[in-house]
Amino acid sequence: MSQKLTKSSTDNTLFGICGGIANFFGISPFIVRIIFIFTASTSLWIYIILAFALEDESSL
């Protein structure tokens, strides 16, 4: 069974995007948040798109 990128229902500081990405790649959500902060000019738009496009982990 392949893993699917979803929003995290347990690590959801803001929409659960960073937690979902961290779960997908098996890394710490803190690292994902730091990457998003340092690339804020670009990643803000990606974050907004993912917030609306990804399904909730609990809905699967």
The pLDDT value given to residue 59? 65
Query: Helix crossing, 17-25 with 40-53: angle to 10°?
Result: 90
More confident residue, 51 or 60: 51
pLDDT tens across 10-22, in order? 887 888 999 999 9
Residues 6+ apart with CB under 8 A from 34: none
Q: Is the distance from CB of 10 to CB of 58 less than 8 angstroms?
A: no
The pLDDT value given to residue 1? 47
Domain boundaries, the chain: 17-59
The pLDDT value given to residue 56? 87
- Whole-number percent of the chain with pLDDT over 70: 93
